[in-house]
Structure 1
Amino acid sequence: MSLPHIVTRDEWLAARQDLLAKEKAATRARDELNADRRRLPMVEIDKDYVFEGPGGRASLPDLFEGRLQLVIYHFMFDPTWDNGCKSCSSFLDDIGHVTHLNVRATTFAAVSRAPIDKITRFKARMGWDVPWYSSFGTDFNHDFNVTLDESVKPMVYNYRSKDEHIEAGTGYYVENADQPFELPGVSAFLRDGDRVFHTYSTYGRGSELLTSTTAMLDITALGRQEEWEEPKGRMTGFGAQAGSLEMKYRDEY
């Protein structure tokens, strides 16, 4: 077993202070990256997707549950499977109290291609209470490049084509190219009245740190909605929906 070196307390403190400087630099770089992410343009959704949830049929705007933003976890659950993906299950296990997202005008939901009855059974078995919808029979998973099927459209995952993945050494993403297969991802959406916009999607390892409330808000167009964030004034213009977040926090609890 290889363990860290044993040193004196003073030596440890000096090394820790050196590392702290790197950590602070990484935090500042992450803040700049998050601001750049919030500056991304957005594209309007022009398809009328219809999902199946525990309460019946639902449109994409319905998934917002009246809030401004929606974060969807593309949960790997093929219609032929009896259970959901193990790594995706670990992701949902790590999701905290979604009320902390809700009070920031953001709804979290999972979407899979499996039929709703399979999703409902598996969700009950796992003890989850997050909203989870079926996209079975729709283009949703294909359009957001989490179901790869060359008979439907050319393969693209994490913004690379099949040939680009093979050239980059990430061909494992497309190694099952002879049959349809599922991959994970996270997508963020913004609602302005009845209009819905796609603001961000991340794939592969891009989702592995998103199980905290602040990290998930960092991938949205409105961010954490703190005064120090750039660009300024993102909540301006949303009127009463922005409201008092402190009051919403009390109301939702």
Structure 2
Amino acid sequence: MNTVLAYYQHLGPALMALVLLTFLLAGTVKGVIGLGLPTIAMGLLGLAMAPAQAAALLIVPSALTNLWQLAFGGHLRGLLGRLWPMLLAIFLGTGAGALWLGMEGGPWVVRGLGAALLLYALSGLCLPALRLAARHEPWLGPLCGVLTGAITAATGVFVIPAVPYLQALGLQRDQLVQALGLSFSVSTLALAAGLAWGGALGGAELGASLLALVPALLGMWLGQWLRQRISAVLFKRVFFVGLGLLGAHLLVSG
């Protein structure tokens, strides 16, 4: 605990407040639309700290909220049987990306994070509803998995191209929510392994990430409450617009 407190004291009051508010907001968005926690966390924290440090903080909140998401729905066995090539490719792609690219810092990593956020926002705002023919899944699933893994290793963002691919499979709503939780869980575990291998994820970082779980869960509760009272479609559109602006800022400023 002393190590964790020292970690936050080292961040200082301003950065500590940013971490808490970021995970509160990210949890709220996830509570409303079912995704967005790691994406928002990486985007906002990337404004003030190295991407590897931001990625280390999101490990516990992302892992536990996604495990919770995939645990309910009753479709886990069927989804595993259908998606395992993509999931394996995500894990291997993240590992290869950690060895080859990593998140060592520097302007190119921040710009890569901005590009990933902007691309995801544009896909959410502009990409029409796609439907993928089943005959393309055997090769396109692993390809999307490898690309998702490489982007995850470089930026900490694991939604491109995994989310558009899963949305194109024609899954029922409950199946899609569970499939997203499954994909995000594998990505989070693979990212944690890559960060640990690179020395960016130790006991202090895990402890600090565990504390970040509190505002994330509070935000999820708030988001679930809001979901009953606001338009999820409008909220999602605002989310993508805000994410796109944030991504554009990171891409330009580096």
Q: TM-score, normalised by structure 2?
A: 0.27
Which structure has the larger Rg? 1
More contact order relative to length (CA 8 Å, sep ≥ 6): 2
Q: TM-score, normalised by structure 1?
A: 0.27
**Comparing both structures, which one devotes a greater share of its residues to helix?**
2
**Comparing both structures, which one devotes a greater share of its residues to strand?**
1
